[in-house]
Amino acid sequence: MRFAGMNITFRHFPFNYFLDSMEQLGINKIELWAGEPHIYVYRNAIESIRTIKKEIKSRNMEIVCYTPEQCVYPFNLAALDPQWRKSSIDYFVENIYAALELETRMVLITSGIGDFSVSLGESWKYTSDSIYQLSKVAEKEGLAFRGEIEGFVDEICQKGYKNIFLIGAGGTIAMMYPYEYILKSNSTIDVHAEIAAEFMVMNHKHFSKDSVCIFTSVSGTTKETLAAAEYCKEKGATTIALVAEPNTPLTKMVDYCITTGSEKHSFDTFYLLLYMVIFRFMYNRDEFPQYEQFTKEVNLLPRAILNAVKSFDQKAEEFAIKHKDTDYHMMVGSGNLWGNTYCYAMCVLEEMQWIHAKSIHAAEFFHGTLELVVEDTSVILLKGEDETRPLMDRVERFVENITKNVTIIDTKDFEMEGISEEFRKHFAVSINWSVLSRISVYLERERNHSLELRRYYRQMEY
């Protein structure tokens, strides 16, 4: 059990007296009640935040939850009067930003109280609409998922774990490979990326009740993922899932679940969340002190992705036009982009477009597949920005001399506004995947071959 001290009962004392008392009690986690005279967002907010931050930091404390006063102050998310409701929402938005500034990952919000002259149903509509608007702000600022993610990752780390298993099949195991690579090259955490169906039968000797198993699934119903999650749970391991659809068998089965909501770009969202999950594990092991800055930049990523996709759009279209009849591609990648390379070849070109595609790791390219390259072979190079880039450069130099059909997709071509130089290599995974998706869209159009079309998958039993 963990305790946090709250300052509401100290509202007739100065804030520092409250902190002194917590120190004496050995409590270093604080639930910050935001109300007069300690901090009120409509009076000297900036100064208050600055002072509180300094005090908290100097005492090695942490604000685990930010709770704006909402019972006695004149704000009510369920109010019948639309103007009052509007000003109440504004008040909470203001507080969300204060919480962000205080590096807190949780904000407590209650429903408000419906007007007694209207039905419960009507008030419910008002309050749920208000909370929806707040959640959109929180989501945009990364607070929503960040709070949840840090909450469960910290809990797991505190409890202790032995290793991390990244489990999936097809696209969802490919999506894990970047994080396996990132962990291997940045952390001493013991990590294993395993294909679900194989994992189930292989008696993996490193897997135990002390393992943390991470899954992703758009539908939350993928058979093999479900079976693997059930297997892990039965063995007493800790299970985490990122799922797009709410209320699925997978969301219900795992110990910790983030439901992202159903949308077109679930994979892009999964990437963002996986950054937060994986780097939080590293942070908790004192292997990633830049975590705070990194997480802020994760929130800038959606915009960077949007800009990258825009700037790549024309190139994607040109590729699709040029290659609409090409029946074979080689795709080469390395390091944290190997997963995307493998996935795009198998799950997009092969599965969704029925085009033969060989994915080959840059470090392996010169040990076999190179012999197939002739003057018109299509070779697609996925270049990222991690330590393995020189391996890609070498492949590039070679193929540029042999074939005229080289396509280079290089994350260095994208600006990634606001992203620090040191983090670009990590975010390259996400950027690369997003721009590849544009190629898919244009291939679908140019080849008149729907991305949804399947000969067998979910068309027949096997």
The residues of the shown chain that bind its own copies, judged by CB under 8 A, are: 169-171, 173, 181, 184-188, 190, 192, 195-198, 201-206, 224, 328, 334-335, 346-347, 350-352, 354, 356-358, 360-364, 366-373, 386-388, 390-391, 394, 397-398, 401-402, 454-457, 462
Q: How far is the CB of 335 from its own copies (least distance, A)?
A: 7
Beta-carbon-side half-sphere exposure of residue 62 (alpha carbons within 13 Å): 8
CB closer to its own copies out of 130 and 432: 432
CB closer to its own copies out of 170 and 220: 170
CB closer to its own copies out of 42 and 457: 457
CB closer to its own copies out of 44 and 185: 185
Q: How far is the CB of 410 from its own copies (least distance, A)?
A: 18
Q: How far is the CB of 198 from its own copies (least distance, A)?
A: 4
Side chain identity at 216, as an amino acid letter?
T
Query: How many Å apart are CA 316 and CA 438, to the nearest integer?
Result: 6
Strands (DSSP E) contained in 141-221 are: 163-168, 191-195, 211-217
Q: How far is the CB of 258 from its own copies (least distance, A)?
A: 23
CB closer to its own copies out of 133 and 186: 186
Under 8 Å between Cβ of 347 and 396: no
Q: How far is the CB of 255 from its own copies (least distance, A)?
A: 24
Under 8 Å between Cβ of 157 and 212: no
CB closer to its own copies out of 181 and 275: 181
Query: How many Å apart are CA 154 and CA 219, to the nearest integer?
Result: 27
Q: How far is the CB of 206 from its own copies (least distance, A)?
A: 7
3-state secondary structure of 218: coil
Of the candidates 350, 312, 310, the one whose C-alpha atom is nearest the C-alpha of residue 331 is: 350
Q: How far is the CB of 395 from its own copies (least distance, A)?
A: 9
Quote the tokens at residue 410. Answer: 């290089």
For residue 101, give Cα distances in angstroms to 93, 97, 276.
13, 6, 18
CB closer to its own copies out of 132 and 462: 462
Q: How far is the CB of 427 from its own copies (least distance, A)?
A: 18
Where do we find the tokens 């930049």? 297
| CB contact set of 11 (below 8 Å; sequence gap of 6+) | 33, 35, 36, 37, 38
Range list of H helices, 254-408:
266-284, 291-298, 301-322, 338-343, 351-353, 389-402
Q: How far is the CB of 347 from its own copies (least distance, A)?
A: 5
Backbone phi, psi, residue 84, to 5°: -65, -40
DSSP track, 369-397: GGGG--TT-EEEEEE-SSTTHHHHHHHHH
CB closer to its own copies out of 276 and 355: 355
| Helix, strand and coil percent figures for the chain, each rounded to 5 | 50, 15, 35
CB closer to its own copies out of 31 and 351: 351
Helix (H) or strand (E) holding 63: strand 62-68
CB closer to its own copies out of 12 and 455: 455
Q: How far is the CB of 184 from its own copies (least distance, A)?
A: 6
Q: How far is the CB of 360 from its own copies (least distance, A)?
A: 8
CB closer to its own copies out of 39 and 373: 373
Query: How many Å apart are CA 136 and CA 144, to the nearest integer?
Result: 9
Give the count of beta carbons closer than 10 Å to the beta carbon of residue 31.
18
